[in-house]
Amino acid sequence: MSESVMIAFAGIGLLAIASQWLAWWVKLPAILFLLLAGIVAGPVTGWLDPDHMFGALLMPVVSLAVGLILFEGALSLKFAELKGIGKVVRRLVSTGMLLTWGIIGSAAHFMLGLSWEMALLFGSLVVVTGPTVIVPMLRTVRPNTAISNILRWEGIIIDPIGALLAVLVFEFIVSRAAGGAIAHTLITFTKVVGAGTLLGAAFGYGMGMVLRHHWMPEYLHNMGTLLFVFAAFTISNVLAHESGLLAVTVMGIWLANMKQVPIEDMLEFKESLSILFISGLFIVLAARIDLAALLDVGLGAVGVLLVIQFVARPLNIFFSTFGSDLTIRDKLLLSWIGPRGIVAAAVSALFAMKLASAGYAEANLLVSLTFLVILFTVVLQSFTAGTLARWLRVSEPEPKGVLFIGANPVARELAHELDRHGFRTLLIDHSVDYIRKARMLGLRTYLGNPVSAHASRNLDLAGIGCMMALSQRSEMNTLSAMHYRNEFGRNKIYSLQTMKESMATERHLASDEQRGQILFSEDVNFGTLADSLAKEGRFRRTRITEAFSYEKYLETHGNRVIPLFVVTEKKDLVPVVAGRKLQPGQGSTVIALCRPAASLLGKKA
């Protein structure tokens, strides 16, 4: 028995990592592959039976996992930032969400014959989108900045708000059935909201004070916070049934908005833990789907899906964007993209189990319908949104631009040269003087620390495909390389050696994995380029042809040039890096820095 359970856990883990890896490889939301893996493992093959495997622990495990996911999402909600995201997002997650809820609930009632209670609960379950499905889709679709920001912020904010709506609808149903009186319903509703809000605020404040005053060693911060979340969730549920989800959401919001509370490391830990829970939880929940019930929902379910995609979402978008600066093309793409994610799946499974035990015959249909909505929206939108964005001409070009760490003279000249070739550039520096000079050249800039929380939230990286660290401080280059590795991928992180690094021994250097690929060559450092540019070195552009190959180019110019970049015939940018042989094809253009004559004479001497 124990061996079979261990095998099942190992199998879930392998399916989870395989699904996440496959999603990363094909640039589609991981939730799609997790769902398919769960269906194959559960109802198709019968290998995974979560009810038998977890027994009485299934409901508590699902509840705690959903609570942690909501807490992690709530940690991203800062009131100061909400003021700057515009009227559109505020409408989307408030009145627009209620409009969507009403439309979907009505469709479920009239098309599927669900009672009003079940129909409205179903509607509350599928109003959420969520960053776990939105962010991977945005990477593939690459919509313009306005669309991207609206979708991303909507996904972050609506998760806890939508889950709260579902909790309140569920509590209304249960309390109404228990007493039947409006007064009893209001008392139960007040207890849930009161207990969840007060306990969430109390635990959030308490944990915030612990972190602010360092009453706990740093190595216990993540574990301590996790246990605080579980404690808040459990105690709140004991005091008021099903108020735990509200409590952990309020706790996360409270922590996110407390001053002088270090939550950056906590966010990274909770994000990794959330991915673990999302992956395992989605496979387990998908394995519980009743395929027969899913197939029996009939044409009414098709009608509901069409209403969600072609009625509820467009009406929400056009209502929420009324009076905004968005074009009709922007609104059409926003109307198309709204995939449902893990919160809808987890909360539906949780409430279905509770309602089924309370005698609601329609409860199990909620899970099948919710997963059907998830599958329909993720599959349809993942495969069509990119084409629609290009057809509407609201997508950004393929990200071929460069993020420069540093706006010093070397970084400015390189960025200016690439800008002439049509590559988008963005320079980051803390020096007001450097930023001012870069702006005078017409370059896009950001004044501040490249690894700050503000930069992570506010940098517009649309069209940017790689990072080049050209700061004169090697520590900043290394930090930036590590910080942006997840954004661009390891093979798109480059770093120029400082003069100090070029003379240092291996024991004093950060590893190549941390620094990224070394730009240009081992013999070229920041001082080499700065000296050449200061002595009127010039950029030279040379086209490679059949008659004039790259080998002949090197023979002709020798050490008079420093090859920097290659622009391929397809207009891709290929930086020259140390230790990698460059083989530009015909039609490519080599961009090099011509050394000044004085520098060459000094080198020969």
Residue type, 605: A
Residue given tokens 């109390």 in the structure block = 202
Strand partners, 445: 427
Instruction: Name the band, by pLDDT with cuts 50, 70 and 90, for residue 602.
Output: very low
| The two three-digit tokens of residue 526, written as one number | 């920041």
Cβ(193)–Cβ(275) under 8 Å? no
> Which string of DSSP letters, residue by residue, matches 128-186?
---HHHHHHHHHHH-B-HHHHHHHHHHHHHHHHHHHHHHHHHHHHHHHHHHH--HHHHH
Q: What pLDDT does 316 receive? A: 94
More confident residue, 217 or 78: 217
Residue given tokens 């039609």 in the structure block = 587
Sign of the dihedral defined by the CA atoms of residues 204, 157, 127, 321, in that order:
positive
pLDDT 10s digits, 127-140: 988 666 777 777 77
User: CA torsion, points 595, 598, 602, 604, in degrees to nearest 10?
Assistant: 70
Q: Measure the CA–CA gap between 313 and 310, rounded to whole angstroms.
A: 7
Residues of the chain with CATH 1.20.1530.20: 2-392
Question: What's the average model confidence in pLDDT over 353-381?
Answer: 81
Q: Measure the CA–CA gap between 500 and 497, rounded to whole angstroms.
A: 8
Instruction: Name the band, by pLDDT with cuts 50, 70 and 90, for residue 202.
Output: very high
Checking if the pLDDT of 243 tops 90, the result is: no
Closest of 333, 204, 313 to residue 266, by C-alpha = 204
What fold does the segment set 2-392 form as a domain?
Na+/H+ antiporter like fold (1.20.1530)
Instruction: Name the band, by pLDDT with cuts 50, 70 and 90, for residue 548.
Output: confident
In this prediction the pTM is 0.67
Give 14's contacts (C-beta < 8 A, 6+ positions apart): none
pLDDT 10s digits, 134-166: 777 777 787 887 888 788 778 877 876 787 788
| The two three-digit tokens of residue 175, written as one number | 């309390």
Closest of 385, 459, 594, 470 to residue 149, by C-alpha = 459
Question: What's the average model confidence in pLDDT over 378-402?
Answer: 84
Checking if the pLDDT of 81 tops 70, the result is: no
> Which string of DSSP letters, residue by residue, matches 188-218?
HHHHHHHHHHHHHHHHHHHHHHHHHTT-S-G
Question: What's the average model confidence in pLDDT over 33-59?
Answer: 83
pLDDT above 70 covers a percentage of the chain that reads 86
Q: Measure the CA–CA gap between 177 and 54, rounded to whole angstroms.
A: 29
Residues of the chain with CATH 3.40.50.720: 401-604
Upper half-sphere CA count for residue 321 (Cβ side, 13 Å): 22
What CATH architecture applies to the domain 401-604?
3-Layer(aba) Sandwich (3.40)
Residue type, 441: L
More confident residue, 278 or 591: 591
More confident residue, 598 or 541: 541
More confident residue, 471 or 315: 315
| The two three-digit tokens of residue 9, written as one number | 């856990």
C-alpha of 337 from chain center:
15
pLDDT 10s digits, 284-338: 888 887 777 667 777 788 899 999 999 999 999 999 988 888 899 999 999 999 8
Q: What pLDDT does 217 receive? A: 84
Instruction: Name the band, by pLDDT with cuts 50, 70 and 90, for residue 11.
Output: confident
In order of 111, 287, 389, 585, the CA distances from 374 in angstroms are 19, 15, 21, 45
Most confident by average pLDDT, 135-144, 256-265, 411-420 = 411-420
Cβ(469)–Cβ(499) under 8 Å? no
Checking if the pLDDT of 513 tops 70, the result is: no
Q: What angle do CA 375, 378, 379 make, to 5 degrees?
A: 80
